[in-house]
Amino acid sequence: MQEDYLRYRIASTAYLGDHIAEQGVPIVQPPGGHAIYLDAKAFLPHIPADQFPGVALAAELYLEGGIRSVEIGSLMFGAAAQMELVRLGHSAARLHAEPHRLRGEIILQVFARRERSKVCG
């Protein structure tokens, strides 16, 4: 266990989560030390659960900026799904602030045009 690394990881994840949440992106609060969970149901309220909003959001994030994520919702759990989430894992690499800022800007771009997207719309 490296306490300096854990502090860095928690702070950098919080930075990204707080940044996008301040702009209206719905996330599960507080951001975790290992991931941010986007609330796909609130992010894409026009997509019903049976059309997999988490999958649509994960695909759009990848198409827009190569952000890899995973759906945790209706596709993964079927009728037992409690939420429609997209997990944005935090790289184990010590990334500088710029990659986190870039990921945030890509998420904000997708959020701004979420109803006009070919995947999300």
What's the pLDDT score for residue 46? 92
pTM higher than the cut 0.75: yes
User: What residues have CB less than 8 Å from 68, skipping those under 6 apart?
Assistant: 62, 89
52 or 6: which leads in pLDDT:
52
- pLDDT tens-digit readout, 24-55: 999 999 987 788 999 999 999 999 999 999 99
- pLDDT tens-digit readout, 62-113: 999 999 999 999 999 998 999 999 999 876 555 555 677 888 999 999 999 9
The dihedrals phi and psi of 120, each to the nearest 5 degrees, come to -90, -15
